[in-house]
Structure 1
């Protein structure tokens, strides 16, 4: 549904925003935030009556779309009985959310520590790993994003880290596999996997294995480019961690809860079980902020008789947990994970491959489920990105033109550097998928205009 336009109210909303709201990752006087009037399913609209198909899922979190009635009802029911309660008590919504999550996590990740979001989940996972091992260093990949809090941003590999790099003590970075832009001169996935694993082990050896507490990886990196690791890589990392007594942390904040066509992205890699796994976003589609750490038996045992020195006032907030319970049940009952897998394999993947054949600006298509990226380039042979790394202003004009064209055709795109990501809700219909692909087709003509 789209309500009647109300430009006057929209102007008032925007005026109050510009007067008082301080926005993240932005130069405050250079932004013009759209005023959103409403959202439902895969769409949102503004006060002028413009309606957009959301190929961003917010920030890749509305896995069941906007305003799902069963989740809205669950939040209302929880608010009517117990709006909030301190985390030191057993509360039904909290207990049930933990049980449902633990049922779906791999291996023995059966203990759930609730946080408010993905960044503080990473903070606590790292703290647990350091306390468990008695070591300090944590290895993270260059192409990564782990959150905006102090430790999480310093673990991050992308340019958003640079302004806060003063806290990077104890963080060591390495190159994870990415064949399209290989750092290892690899010619195929097998070489990329073998050389990336050797590089990782060499890094550990030269850093001193006895100093390394953890390796943290996004199972499938999200904002950094949706690069599915080659077969054998995650299993190889698991083996290296076991050999050196290192805690293996997988960050499933973006890739988890159906996004890849499995409950968790790690489910695509048989036999791989991390020691700690972070989650947030899709656990309740962002309806109420919630994140957490799923903890293995071995790490949990460290704190069986030794207090864990960490906590949050809102850990396992009842409203957030009630939303998580309802979301997980909706995903189960309505086949949302299966829908993401089917549409990804049968509609989105083939549709994006077709666009790549017809648009010379598309250098590579990669992904699975509702988790895809198009690498846009100036030249397919040289793989020169359509815009430079971390481009701003005029240097970023080609991507800005592409984004404006997508919005003109009713699609809200996810754009990062020289890529557009296709990350719609996992509840997307086939008709909506085709609508989005048609809008991308039209918008890519703008990118094509910059191909050398």
Structure 2
């Protein structure tokens, strides 16, 4: 008798478990969801179940899944020119660079293309070191800049620990975060002032002439979506100018509409020396990242070669996707939609959930970039799950969201609510209702005052 046929979904799962080595995971315990198709803010698993995708995968599907204009642009580019070496100019790369420069601060007119966010940060750091002749790099503890040897050491979260050999030149500092302030601040103004004082004191004790750059996420993402207080990024800019330090703003997650602006720095009226990007530049349809280079750094390499590059720098398929993404964002006012949704629907809706659920200690965000800080006690602010780990409380909460048909991004005790920038108020309402149900599970672990 012939063996019973297995479904495509089952075969996909079995081949994954037999042959795919997954990132950030203990391999034997994995049970990955099989995704069969996607559309806009939705995806369907191997059993045909529908989910609202409020994770944007790894916070990058800014124009949603399978946007027809972006899909068509990739198809058309593939028919015309699939690939070409970086040394040759091509229409897709040139136009992508123009469009990116157009949304960048004045004077930031050149783009070095990479294959992703970590590559972008690696090259920004290299540029800063060569420009200054210095080595050390400043980065925040609550940060994430990538998983290459250099960027994982610059990252502030616990994933650095197994990879940290202490030889990357990374020096970490505490950024501003009023809800869990390291400076015992009571107001945003105090937090800003004390965080800047801490940063400058650290620089003085380490030796100002040692530092090539400071890299900051304009709005930290993976570490908690913590919009900086007014004046902080400008204060960092002043410190950099005072000591000749290159300022790098990491917009890998926060850029291209995510915060309701083209770049998150647009909220803070600051111009860094270098800006790194990836993810939302083409909604992850084809891997792409880059560094937006200011005039000062550009001039360092106007007459001497920049010693860096990669095979797929400015890949035509990826750049065609970027051109279509940015053009579509303009035509369909997608960045404006992200701002509107955050201000009128998602932000107010999440704050209303906080009024109902004691396990929500803090709500923060901009545009379609929000986090819920879950706690077991609002007075002590004890996290629902431990730093660098997980537990039944957060696991069951996330499972309840999935069972309800909602995918959200989770990091330790936080739920990140990060839908595509194309999300509608109706979809937000549906997602909030699903999240409301899941948060009942988190509330069951709450033991503080109500």
State TM-score, norm by structure 1: 0.97
Q: In 2, Cα distance between the equivalents of 1:114 and 1:268?
A: 25
**1:262 alignment partner in structure 2:** 261
**1:193 alignment partner in structure 2:** 192
1:363 counterpart (361, 364, 372): 361
Matched, 1:178 2:184: no
Q: In 2, Cα distance between the equivalents of 1:118 and 1:51?
A: 30
- Find the residue that maps to 2:123 and give its secondary structure: helix
The CA deviation at 1:169 is: 3.0
**1:283 alignment partner in structure 2:** 281
Matched, 1:297 2:295: yes
Matched, 1:410 2:405: yes
* Map 1:1-400 → 2, pairs under 5 A: 8-166=7-165, 168-270=167-269, 272-392=270-390, 396-400=391-395
Aligned 8 A contact 2:84 2:316 in 1: yes
- Find the residue that maps to 1:405 and give its secondary structure: helix
**2:425 alignment partner in structure 1:** 430
Q: Using a 3 Å threshold, how does the CA distance of structure 1 residues 89 and 117 change in structure 2: closer, same or farther?
A: same
Aligned 8 A contact 1:387 1:418 in 2: yes
Aligned 8 A contact 1:260 1:340 in 2: yes
Q: Name the count of aligned residue pairs.
A: 443
Q: In 2, Cα distance between the equivalents of 1:149 and 1:376?
A: 30
Q: In 1, Cα distance between the equivalents of 2:386 and 2:314?
A: 42
Q: Which runs of 5+ in 2 are unaligned?
A: none
Q: In 2, Cα distance between the equivalents of 1:255 and 1:277?
A: 11
Q: In 2, Cα distance between the equivalents of 1:71 and 1:388?
A: 40
Q: 1:238-294 CA distances to partner (integer Å, 9 max, x unpaired)?
A: 000001000000000000000000000000012x00000000000000000000000
Q: 1:25-80 CA distances to partner (integer Å, 9 max, x unpaired)?
A: 01110111111101010011112111110111010000000000000000000000
**1:3 alignment partner in structure 2:** none
- Find the residue that maps to 2:171 and give its secondary structure: strand
Aligned 8 A contact 2:183 2:194 in 1: yes
Q: Which ranges of 4 or more aligned residues in structure 1 deviate by more than 2 Å?
A: none
Q: In 2, Cα distance between the equivalents of 1:181 and 1:231?
A: 17
The CA deviation at 1:391 is: 2.0
The CA deviation at 1:167 is: 5.2
- Aligned Cα root-mean-square deviation (Å): 0.9
Q: In 1, Cα distance between the equivalents of 2:220 and 2:168?
A: 23
Q: In 2, Cα distance between the equivalents of 1:38 and 1:17?
A: 17
- Find the residue that maps to 2:235 and give its secondary structure: helix
Q: In 2, Cα distance between the equivalents of 1:379 and 1:99?
A: 50
State TM-score, norm by structure 2: 0.98
Q: Which runs of 5+ in 1 are unaligned?
A: 1-5
Q: 1:211-254 CA distances to partner (integer Å, 9 max, x unpaired)?
A: 10000000000000000000110000000000100000000000
Aligned 8 A contact 1:216 1:251 in 2: yes
Aligned 8 A contact 2:150 2:168 in 1: no
Aligned 8 A contact 1:136 1:211 in 2: yes
Q: In 1, Cα distance between the equivalents of 2:34 and 2:348?
A: 34
Q: In 2, Cα distance between the equivalents of 1:209 and 1:345?
A: 41
The CA deviation at 1:168 is: 4.0
Q: In 2, Cα distance between the equivalents of 1:171 and 1:7?
A: 51
Aligned 8 A contact 1:374 1:420 in 2: yes
Aligned 8 A contact 2:257 2:335 in 1: yes
Q: In 2, Cα distance between the equivalents of 1:153 and 1:425?
A: 27
